Amino acid sequence: MDQWFEITVAAEAPDLPVIEAVAVMLSPGGIYTEDYTDMEEVCEQITGIRLIDEELLAKDRSRGAVHIYLEPKASVGEELAFLKERLDAEGVVYDITTGQVDEKDWAEAWKKYYKPVRVGKHFVVVPCWEPYEPLPEDKVLTLDPGMAFGTGTHESTQLCLELLEDFVHPGDRMMDIGTGSGILSIGALLLGAEEACAFDIDPVSVKVSAENVALNQMQDRFKVTQGGLSDAYEGKFNIICANIVADVILAILPEIEKYLAPGGVFITSGIIDFRGPEIIEAAEKLGYQILRKEAKNNWLAFALEK
């Protein structure tokens, strides 16, 4: 069984979003955040019951940790150097520990904490192993994210889903940049999009997204390929989504208009709040109109129209 590398970055709770933003850039294997700041409220929101676990209640609310998982072939030394350089540049005070974990252990251990969660007006993201009885207005998004990013619990994913609810129309064609688990493609298809065309540089995400779309019985309206924007699909799209990180968004922004249909909307997130002004400046220089700017717990999302 493959041994994955685990890097754990511990820091004060307010610095965790910055660490997450850096971690997502270097970890196709996924990240997991321990943040106990508002765990009682989150527990009640997701499960409908108050948290009574004494061990969890005793956790330090002022600190947390981000666990970063790197595939066996990764150059751990280079990744650590990149991580430390970026965190030092942001002025984050942190402690780093490293270790190894079996791929199966990482892929399975977190499942006991992943429960159905409501997002936006009508979405409910439901793990495929959890029973759920939908309400009449629910749009149920069934997922087994595996090793891919996108469970619906991260703020950046939630912001994208909420914007999709407002901008996707029946018959739209959607492009999903960096699809991860396929969650945004599935969300768009649930809202009536005619087709979702996705891609990701990570082969695991390509596989997992296809499997998740099949779980939701939408494979006839979904395409996925491994690659980047330069390898993308032909034609124009009414909706383009990119839930990545600010640096990648800035790099691809000049190319997005080639793929946007007239009146099309570019929805993007994965942006830590202090990078927001850079995104706004770049978008306005390229002639984009900012239709919406949304924020949630230090994360930003934008809906842009050319």
Enumerate the domain spans of the chain.
Answer: 3-110, 114-305
Half-sphere exposure of 297 (CA within 13 A, CB side): 18
As its CATH architecture, domain 3-110 has 2-Layer Sandwich (3.30)
* CA torsion angle 151 7 103 161 (round to 10): 10
pLDDT tens, the chain, 306 aa long: 567 788 899 999 888 888 888 887 765 556 777 776 654 444 444 344 443 344 544 556 788 888 888 777 766 777 787 788 888 888 899 999 888 776 555 555 556 556 788 899 999 998 888 888 889 999 999 988 665 455 667 788 899 999 999 999 999 999 999 898 899 999 999 999 999 999 988 887 888 899 999 999 999 999 999 988 887 788 999 999 999 888 889 999 999 999 999 999 999 998 888 899 999 999 999 999 999 999 988 889 999 998
CATH superfamily to which 114-305 belongs: Vaccinia Virus protein VP39 (3.40.50.150)
Q: Are 120 and 162 in contact (CB under 8 A)?
A: yes
Rg for the chain (alpha carbons), in Å?
A: 19
Query: How far apart are the C-alpha atoms of 286 and 254, rounded to whole Å?
Result: 7
